[in-house]
Chain A
Amino acid sequence: MNRREEAVRIQRTLAVAATVALLAVAGACGSEDSDDKASGGGPDKADLVVWINGTDTPQEARDWLKKTFEEQNPGSTLTIEQQEWEGLVERFTTALTSEDQAPDVVEVGNTQAPTFTTVGAFSDLTDDLDDLGGDDLLQGFVDGATIDGKTYAVPYYAGSTYVFYRKDLFKKAGITEVPTTMDEFVEAAGKLKAESGEKDFSGYWLPGKDWRDAAALLWNADGDFAVPDGDEWKGNLSSDESVAGLTAFQDLYESASGAAADANEADPVTPFCAGKIGMMSRPGWVYGMLTDKKSGCPDLAKQVGVFALPGDDGEPAPVLLGGSDIAIPAKSPNQDLARKALALMLSDDYQSILAKAGLTPAKESLASALGDDEFAQASIEAASNAKLTPAAANWATVEGKMILEDLFSQIAQGGDVEELAAEADETLTAELN
């Protein structure tokens, strides 16, 4: 940063401080809830609302964030409101457009972020990037949230799913070694299912609507959802490679999965704890749910081993690079405070708590905080060959409209793969352009 910028920055800070001081005086004369729009950065005291999705973020991290933020910003409070992953796109569409409803910091799925960054739903964070970690931040995530040189969201955590398996069931089925190729994996899944002899048992748990995990089979066959076509996007599910991948999904579902063809992957704990799962692809933090005394089944969880899903070539299969970004809604009236909260969520302390819970931290320098047990290894291996969904601006509406959920569910129900894929391509092409 050169001197001029420094000077401007100081001036701006002073101006903000002066405005804030004035506002504080004005506020003292009566108005309790001063949301004066004159101060661009928002008031210096406010009740912040942070949206965190699902149960991924461990309670320890939530407590730390609330406590630290409130200590550092006396007079302000921070409330975490947990949102469901399902239906998140809908809630963003409605809540982020209104100043009254917009939360101050939001977590957004990394594949959903581009849709909202392109329409101006989030505040520009380009100037804050250096302070937040700069080059240390996971670059793929930063790139995904950058348009025309401006960055609107920063990584929160990454994580690809890897395979959880029951060691005792492997032994019972006579599988002595962890599968090292896709073929071996499919065979093991079938064996486990056959050994159980139960209709609702899953050798490999693959609910029909779980396209995020099924994507590994599509990509393993060199297929893809959509490909760039000039300036536009074109559905690519009916290409030969994609059809082969989708057929592999259908075969695997039929031979090994006991999950419903129209179910999603939201609740693996119930079937796992009922002893109905031999293998399943889940993110690392699910292990914490399995070992939980109240909602999980610690005894069964002791039998769990993990490995990264292998591809045809014996290397880790191309699984979906999952993860989250965090962003500040442009309509939040508390921009400055929101930036402070966001900075805390990217601090080494906070990110280390996430890492301990099995989430790949947003900063590369903290990767070692994952530890070096088999979970950490599987996690790093799985991420080594992970892929993103097509980088089309409208991708989130594909997710919002459940287009892929419908497609994979119908394939799992035994539908004609080529026909369904051709239909889905039409829908994808229409939706992405």
Chain B
Amino acid sequence: MPPPAVRRRSLLPLGLVLPASLALGLALGYPLVRQVVLSLQEFGLAQQFGQPPTWIGLGNYRELLGGDDLWPVVRRTVVFCFANAALTFGIGVGLALLMARMSRVVRVATQVGLLLAWAMPVVAAMTVFQFLFDRDYGVVNAALTGLGLDYDGHNWLIEPWSFFMVATIVVVWMSVPFVAFTVHASLTQVPEDVVEAAEIDGAGAWQRFVHVVLPSIRPVLVVVAMLQVIWDLRVFTQIYSLQRAGGTTDETHLLGTYIHALGIKGGDFGMASAAAMFMLALTVVLTAPYIVMMIKQEREH
């Protein structure tokens, strides 16, 4: 180690950090401040076109939290989020472990397939999935009917639970590749000599995985799981396009589409901002355990 340099006050580091922090502060801070301000105002279409808004304090929050529209949406969002995050995580990690054992050719083929799913634009994917699950001309109904099941003219989107099942398939299909790639990359970083040593010491495959491999990829798993929860909490495009294809809009709102309906469709930006603040708080609460875990890990190292 080099000897500690004599501390000299230099403005250079500050100067290097400042532009980036300013840009970040503006890009993240302005919308947030605006959102807080809006949530405290009566801000409708007329205000959007230039009328001065009125301040109503916590009026929007009272109406939002006191009404009976929000809570079913929150329940739905949380359940959908964790179901999707868990499925994605499980399938993604499983695939990553599998990939580590595949022959080169098969692995490359799998990776190309995953990459294609990952690279597919959401709207294009949604169009394809809508075709697949179409009531009259969909492949899924045709295939199930071909198997002798009574799925002729079955409407997949009309019942909320099967609407969300289709949404889950799309969301999981699109997010598995990220998990699989990231975890696979971290698996290649597990030092082989340690695993070998454990084997020599008589650890079985399962013991090696739990006690050697898992601890060394844990930081990656935590980050991936947290990102997945955040993404699945904010899911929007998939639900929005499925709502346009069918189903009952009011029964299939998740927080993202609910806020969109309040603001952009309904022209009540004050309420929409209040709901967005609520969603922000929810995200923080739900991801807090992961963040704590991450901070702990940092300390351990």
A97 touching B152 by the CB < 8 A rule? no
**Which residues of chain B come closer than 8 Å to A89, judged between CB atoms?**
265
Q: Does B111 contact A (CB under 8 A)?
A: no
Let me know if B135 is at the binding interface, CB within 8 A.
yes
Any B CB within 8 A of the CB of A184: no
Can you sample 7 A-B contacts with CB below 8 Å? A115-B45, A119-B51, A263-B246, A330-B49, A397-B45, A401-B265, A431-B266
Interface: A340 (CB within 8 A): no
Q: Assuming the A-B contacts A119-B48, A120-B49, are A93 and B267 also in contact, with contact meaning beta carbons closer than 8 angstroms in the complex?
A: yes
4 closest A-B pairs by CB: A400-B265, A262-B246, A119-B46, A402-B249
Q: Which residues of A contact B45 (CB under 8 A)?
A: 93, 115-116, 119, 121, 397
Tell me which of B48, B135, B136, B261 has the highest count of chain A C-beta atoms within 10 A of its own C-beta: B136
Tell me the minimal C-beta distance from B293 to chain A in angstroms: 39
Interface segment among A44-52, A139-147, A216-224, A405-413: the answer is A405-413
Q: A397 touching B265 by the CB < 8 A rule?
A: yes
Q: Known interface pairs A200-B153, A400-B266. Does A118 touch B46 (Cβ–Cβ under 8 Å)? A: yes
- The answer to whether A260 has its CB under 8 Å from any CB of chain B is yes
B157 CB-CB contact with A under 8 Å: yes
Interface residues of B in 42-99 (CB under 8 A from A): 44-46, 48-51
Is B153's CB under 8 angstroms from A199's CB?
A: yes
| B158 interface residue per 8 A CB criterion | yes
**A90 lies within 8 A of B48 (CB):** no
Report whether A199 and B135 are in contact in the complex, using a CB–CB cutoff of 8 Å.
Answer: no
Interface pair A413/B158, CB less than 8 Å apart: yes
B296 at interface by CB-CB < 8 Å: no
Question: Chain A: residues with CB nearer than 8 A to chain B?
Answer: 86-87, 89-90, 93-94, 96-97, 115-116, 118-121, 199-200, 260-263, 271, 276, 330, 394, 397, 400-403, 405-406, 409-410, 413, 431
Report how far A374 CA is from B175 CA in the complex, Å: 55
Residues of B within 8 A of A119 (CB): 44-46, 48-49, 51
Q: Chain B residues with Cβ under 8 A from A276's Cβ?
A: 136
In contact, A405 and B48 (Cβ under 8 angstroms): no
A94-B264 contact given A121-B49, A199-B152, CB 8 Å threshold? yes
Residue of B nearest to A93 (CB): B264
Report yes or no: B249 in contact with A405, Cβ–Cβ below 8 A: yes
Chain B: interface residue total (CB-CB under 8 A): 26
Q: Whole-angstrom distance between the alpha carbons of A118 and B267 in the complex?
A: 13
A406 to B: closest C-beta gap in Å: 5
Q: Taking the nearest CB of chain B, how far is it from the CB of A124, in angstroms?
A: 14
Give the residues in chain A near B50, CB-CB below 8 Å: 120
Q: Given known contacts A119-B48, A120-B49, what 10 new A-B pairs fall within 8 Å (CB)? A: A89-B265, A97-B48, A97-B49, A120-B51, A262-B155, A400-B266, A402-B250, A402-B265, A406-B251, A409-B248
Smallest beta-carbon distance B191→chain A, Å? 53
Q: Would you give the shortest CB distance from A208 to chain B, in whole angstroms?
A: 9
Say yes or no: is B244 at the interface (Cβ < 8 Å to chain A): yes
B49 in contact with A406 (CB, 8 Å): no
Task: State A199–B261 Cα separation when bound (angstroms).
Answer: 34
* Closest chain A CB from B105 CB (angstroms): 43
Residues of B within 8 A of A87 (CB): 244
Once bound together, how far apart are the Cα atoms of A394 and B45, in whole Å?
Answer: 10
Please tell me if the beta carbons of A401 and B261 are within 8 angstroms of each other in the complex. Answer: yes
Is A261 in contact with B153, judged by CB distance below 8 angstroms?
A: no
Q: Which residue of B lies closest to A413 (CB)?
A: B158
Annotate B124-160 by CB proximity to A: 1 below 8 A, 0 otherwise.
0000000000011000000000000000110101100
Q: Are B246 and A260 in contact (CB under 8 A)?
A: yes
Q: Compute how far the CA of A199 lies from the CA of B195 in the bound complex, rounded to whole angstroms.
A: 62
Q: How far is the CA of A89 from the CA of B267 in the complex (A)?
A: 9
In the complex, are the beta carbons of B135 and A260 less than 8 A apart?
A: yes
- Chain B residues contacting A400 (CB-CB under 8 Å) are 264-267
Min Cβ gap B133→A in Å is 12
Complex formed: what's the CA distance from A83 to B248 in Å?
A: 24
Which residues on the A side are within 8 Å of B46 (C-beta)?
118-120
What is the minimal beta-carbon distance from A417 to any residue of chain B, in angstroms? Answer: 16
A241 vs B158: C-alpha distance in the bound complex, in angstroms? 28
Minimal Cβ-Cβ distance residue in B for A84: B244
Min Cβ gap A327→B in Å is 13
Do the beta carbons of A262 and B247 come within 8 Å of each other? yes
Q: In the assembly, what is the distance between CA of A67 and CA of B265, in Å?
A: 35
Within 8 A of A (CB), among B243-272: 244, 246-251, 261, 264-267
CA distance A394 to B44 in the complex (A): 11
Within the complex, what minimum Cβ distance (angstroms) separates A254 from chain B?
15
Residues of B within 8 A of A401 (CB): 249, 261, 265-266
- B214 vs chain A, min Cβ distance (A): 45
In the complex, residue of chain A having the shortest beta-carbon distance to the beta carbon of B45 = A119
Given A119-B48, A402-B249: A261 and B155 within 8 A (CB)? yes
Task: State A208–B244 Cα separation when bound (angstroms).
Answer: 13
Please, which residues of chain A bring their CB within 8 A of the CB of B244?
86-87
Closest A residue to B250 by beta carbon equals: A406
Point out the residue from A97, A199, A262 that lies within 8 Å of B248, measured CB to CB: A262
The distance from the CB of A266 to the nearest CB of chain B, in whole angstroms, is 9
Also in contact, A260 and B155, with CB within 8 A (given A400-B267, A401-B266)? yes
A200 near B136 (CB under 8 angstroms)? yes
Give the shortest distance, in Å, between A258 (CB) and chain B (any CB): 8
Whole-angstrom distance from the CB of B163 to the nearest CB of chain A? 9
Which residue of the partner chain A has the closest CB to B246?
A262
| B49 / chain A contacts, CB cutoff of 8 Å | 96-97, 119-121, 330
Which residues of A sit under 8 angstroms from B153, Cβ to Cβ?
A: 199-200
In this complex, what residue of B is CB-closest to A92?
B45
Q: A118-B46, A120-B46, A262-B247 are in contact. Are A90 and B264 (CB under 8 A)?
A: yes
Smallest CB separation, B111 vs chain A (Å): 37
Compute how far the CA of A403 lies from the CA of B157 in the bound complex, rounded to whole angstroms.
18
Q: Name the one of B48, B158, B264 contacting A262, with C-beta atoms under 8 angstroms.
A: B158
